[in-house]
Amino acid sequence: MEKMYQVIADENELKWFFDHVIQKPAVNESYSAVFVSRHKKLTDEELKTFGLTRKEGEYLAVQTFRRKSFKDALYQDEENNWTFDRFLQVLKRFNVDKGAYVTGTGEPLPEKTLAIIFYVNPCDDIKVIKAFVDEYMNVNQSIVTAMLNGKTTIDNLQSYQWFGRADSNIKHLKASCKGSKYWMDFDIDVPAWWKTNSFEEDTVNGKQTVSYFDRMKEIFDCYYGKGNYVIVNTSGGYHVLVRTSASKCNPHLVSETIDAYYKNGVKAGEEPYLDEKGNCKFECKLNNSQIPGLPLPGTFQYGKPVIVLNKEDFE
């Protein structure tokens, strides 16, 4: 058994994503990636075996990617200030001894639960520090006010815990204090047949067979143009990144159009995509997070490589 967690699946895939998607951050900006364990991917029997619960999905570690430090502003844009080699070096810091993160029974976390989530737009570190200082001032004020009203140190112990979590608080703020917005993210959850099956449709010349994936791609071509979106294949469907500069329409029109093809597929006999409670799991929605996060292409998601499916659009 491997002694180390290995998060990188394909360096060439990772480099493609770095070259075509990740933009060089401004001096006051940085990117974040998070090593996560999603226990919802385990069966009830596996949860029991490993001593885990579905509520225990957790953020294991965070890495930050920024420009290399410079001593003189004249050198802030030198090529070696932002390189793939440096990006890869930082990402490899997730490759740690399996003893660092273990289950309730002391076993390494199952690979089928692990992923690297990358926040595809940079945060604004000026906003991050301002928000952090505001939090500090609020906590400090609440402690002082409590003491003035006769509370004891013991009464304030929960507030004092904030100081011990200071580094963690900053990491969370990096996921919400947005900087430059290069991409918006469509999060699309699909059944297996969407990725493999086709359907017939009428045309002026008769009938033609079209795959559901190709039709989805045609929809993004129509609304945004080839070369303006990136389709990332994930375990549950796709993340489709669209350049904000190419967004000229209401994104809900895209979601509604794709949703209509799913419903047509079910009417034609495809199996409905339902959860254990019978609720529809198919979803095509715009990710409304301040900074969208998605599985990083070139890394493993639940034991399988994450890849970009439409690289040819950028050739």
Task: Note whether 189 and 281 are same-domain residues.
Answer: yes
Report the DSSP pairing between strands 229-234 and 206-211.
unpaired
Task: Note whether 160 and 194 are same-domain residues.
Answer: no
Task: Note whether 260 and 187 are same-domain residues.
Answer: yes
In a domain, 21, yes or no: yes
Write out pLDDT tens, residues 72-127. 665 566 667 899 999 999 999 999 999 998 887 788 888 888 999 999 999 999 99
Structural tokens at position 65: 């990617």
In a domain, 6, yes or no: no
The CA-to-CA distance between both ends of the chain, in Å, stands at 40
In a domain, 284, yes or no: yes
Task: Note whether 64 and 147 are same-domain residues.
Answer: no
Cα gap 188→35, rounded to integer Å: 22
Cα gap 100→290, rounded to integer Å: 30
Report whether pLDDT(55) > 60: no
φ/ψ (deg, to 5) at 306: -95, 130
Task: Note whether 105 and 138 are same-domain residues.
Answer: no
Task: Note whether 94 and 144 are same-domain residues.
Answer: no
Number of domains in the chain: 3
pLDDT of residue 52: 64
Report the DSSP pairing between strands 198-203 and 58-65.
unpaired
In a domain, 302, yes or no: no
Q: What percent of the chain has pLDDT over 90?
A: 65
In a domain, 227, yes or no: yes
Report whether pLDDT(134) > 90: yes
> When comparing pLDDT for 207 and 84, which is higher?
84
In a domain, 118, yes or no: yes
Write out pLDDT tens, residues 146-187. 888 888 888 888 888 889 888 889 988 998 999 999 999 999
Angle at 182 between CA 176 and CA 236, to 5 degrees: 70
Task: Note whether 211 and 270 are same-domain residues.
Answer: yes
Residue range(s) defining the domain that contains residue 137: 126-169
Write out pLDDT tens, residues 303-315. 999 999 999 999 8
Instruction: Look up residue 97 and give its amino acid.
Output: D
Task: Note whether 102 and 131 are same-domain residues.
Answer: no
φ/ψ (deg, to 5) at 179: -105, -125
In a domain, 311, yes or no: no
State the burial class of residue 152 (Cβ atoms within 10 Å of its Cβ: 0-12, 13-18, 19+).
Answer: exposed
Mean pLDDT computed over 234-252? 93
Task: Note whether 52 and 142 are same-domain residues.
Answer: no
Note whether 120 and 21 are within 8 A (CB).
yes
Note whether 63 and 118 are within 8 A (CB).
no
Centroid of chain to Cα 186? 11
Task: Note whether 200 and 146 are same-domain residues.
Answer: no
Q: Which of 94, 81, 107, 93 is nearest to 36 (CA)?
A: 94
Cα gap 45→50, rounded to integer Å: 9
Task: Note whether 98 and 198 are same-domain residues.
Answer: no
Query: Which residues fall within 8 angstroms of residue 227, CB to CB, at 6 or more apart?
Result: 313, 314
Report whether pLDDT(49) > 80: no
In a domain, 278, yes or no: yes
Task: Note whether 89 and 56 are same-domain residues.
Answer: yes
What is the 3-state secondary structure of the chain? CCCECCCECCHHHHHHHHHHCCCCCCCCEEEEEEEEECHHHCCHHHHHHHCCCHHHCEEEEEEEECCCCCCCHHHCCCHHHCCHHHHHHHHHHHCCEHHHCECCCCCECCHHHEEEEEECCCEEHHHHHHHHHHHHHHHHHHHHHHHHCCCCCHHHHHHHHHHHCHHHHHHHHCCCCECCCCEEEEEEECCHHHHHCEEEEEECCEEEEEEHHHHHHHHHHHHHCCCCEEEEEECCEEEEEEEHHHCCCCHHHHHHHHHHHHHHHHHCCCCCCECCCCCECCEEEECCCCCCEEECCCEEECCEECEECCHHHHC
What average pLDDT is seen over the chain? Answer: 90
Structural tokens at position 109: 């976390």
Structural tokens at position 46: 């596996």
